[in-house]
Structure 1
Amino acid sequence: MARLNIALGQRSYEIAVEAGALDAVVEHIAPWAKRGRTLWVSDSNVATRHWAMIAAQLEAAGIAAILHIVPAGEASKSWAELARLTDWLLSEGIERSDTIFALGGGMIGDLTGFAASIVKRGCDFVQVPTTLLAQVDSSVGGKTAINTAAGKNLVGAFHQPRFVLIDPQVLSTLAPREMRAGYAEVVKYGLIDDAPFFAWCEANGVAVLAGDPEALDHAIVTSVAAKARIVGEDERETRDRRALLNLGHTFGHALEADTGFGERLLHGEAVGVGMVLALQYSARRGLCDTQDADRVAAHFRACAMPVTLQDAGVTADGTALVDHMRHDKKMTGGTLPFLLTRGIGQTFVCHDVDLADVADFLNEMHARGA
């Protein structure tokens, strides 16, 4: 078992990474099981796989287990589902001293965390992530949000969980495509500022995706430790430090918008293609060698992941994709910061990117079938 800490003063919390943790869920979540009951939020797929086992343990310990089920899929990160969730919490008589448990992937964590931030002006919540993407990224750091017609994650709040419980064994139920989507976020930590970890990914990525316990544990712990360090330095992204975690996301969110924020292109897949584009654009500007971009693309191809706009099913031209970027929440004073790189492990925030040049670049990528 690994225990990591997010150092945020009074908002500090622990992250536990332990294979089989959900088989002993009571001992892990007991400090937050107040008033002899627990309120849980999950999606229809995750609940089918895991809820009976969790509920049986809680009830055997004399703890009531009450579950709200959200339809599976990114479409549930919506005003409508947020309203249903908050209405349910209030109907259950939630008090500010209660803790809400988010059991699921990134959608459930984001939706539950946002609801926890606003109901009764703020309640505690605990993250129990069940996808690789949620375990290595979205469950840690306190970003919560829903999507709107204008774009992804544009309405939300910073609301840190009280505890994060990560059980790598639950990933055995994950579809291979979901594992690959989450793996993109693992690779991201190597590309940000840890070139040796990216090299480790090149050597061990296939083992991670195959569920090798040792490789999977190393990937998760290394990723979470990296995110914990960065979030501890810049919790609310007021400086450029935490912004590094957005590598691939500016391009990626535009790709998701073009494909409808759904099953056509998963978030992690979009981020993976977005990271390749970020390196290719960096090379176009003379910031890094084209071999760096080729190396990242080759690794993703070796892991059977999409690499190009064509792979991602994106049909919009550069102008349309840049128009999606204009809705990015990081837009300030008419300019949008981009995460670019001087090489693998050398990501930085660039504040002087011309969006017209980005549109030209994306049109060039389309023309090349890249």
Structure 2
Amino acid sequence: MSLISSTEDLTALCDRLSRERYVTVDTEFMREKTYWPKLCLIQVGGEQESACIDPLAPGLSLEPLFTLMDDERVLKVFHAARQDLEIFLHESGRLPRPLFDTQVAAMVCGYGDSVGYETLVSSLTRARIDKSMRFTDWSRRPLNARQVEYALGDVIHLRAVFEKLEAQLASSGRAGWLDQEMAILTDPAQYRVEPEEAWLRIKARSRSGRFLGLLKELAAWRERTAQERDLPRNRVIRDEGLLEIAASAPTSTDALAQLRSVSRGLADGPLGQGMLEAVARALALPDSALPRPPHREDLPQGLGPVVDLLRVLLKMKCEESGVAQKLVATIGDLERIAADDAAEVPALEGWRRELFGADALRLKHGHLAIALTRDGQGLRVIPLEDSER
């Protein structure tokens, strides 16, 4: 059983892995009862060996692993890396780099939108993933040999997946496409949660400045409280409760306790006091300091059919080139392109513009047409001369 539980053994492992061209990485964590993910197990693998690291082992320092994650000479390979990267950033204050995310690479190579690990392993290696322990409580100790073997399977299969995707990217000349996506994933700003912006994630019907000011203060208070107490946001108070408090703006414990979403015990305690203080701060704001409603970009009348045509073109281009549509453009991107030739969307930049964006603008302005093929079994793009328009 390859389970690392001492700093000495971890240092030796990371020293050996630092000589590898790449390492595959995965984590097991729990988050149901906490704000921050609780790291329970780390799996790493090189071309020659793989091991599990027990971050819960007494006295174990993860600094040798973090040093390896910092090593620019060694490529770090993850699948669907975002949550794993968030954990590394929280635990070490740094993000692993350079990075290769096999889920994103699979989208570039035409395996579909956000393809799952099991599906990708099956497609590329014909191996079958053991699902028997997918609901294991990884925080319980001791771990048995079967659990460790199961966890190691993730980074072992990931080696073959990575090597096949790397070869496909090289043969298609699309390695640079992936580099742009990895630059986004390794930007720490992607993972920071600013309490002052938490209100933007809550769906509010009212567009009143005063209501939104209350909601902003309350949401920021909840975010800070959840972080400090390491509790899920909804364990502090649910979104519906914040909306109710913002709508009623209670200024006393009794008024707060009258609300359906706030019990008397909650209102009387420190959380209730925090809510009332947030309300007081919001009510004291001058009108000029109140937040404005998030901007809604309503589609100009008559552009609906243009968006529909752009969707057809996007599907055609992605099927033709073998790239996942989600990676190229969203419906929101298409709406913005339909309304504005200079829309600031990824689809009009870099490789996406070459693949789709330039032709999207040509279609929009009548320089391209979409027609059925002669047999009626497909679609084709037809360039139009000025005399034809």
Shorter-chain TM range is: under 0.3
Tell me the TM-score normalized by structure 2. 0.27
Tell me the TM-score normalized by structure 1. 0.28
Q: Which has the higher strand share?
A: 1
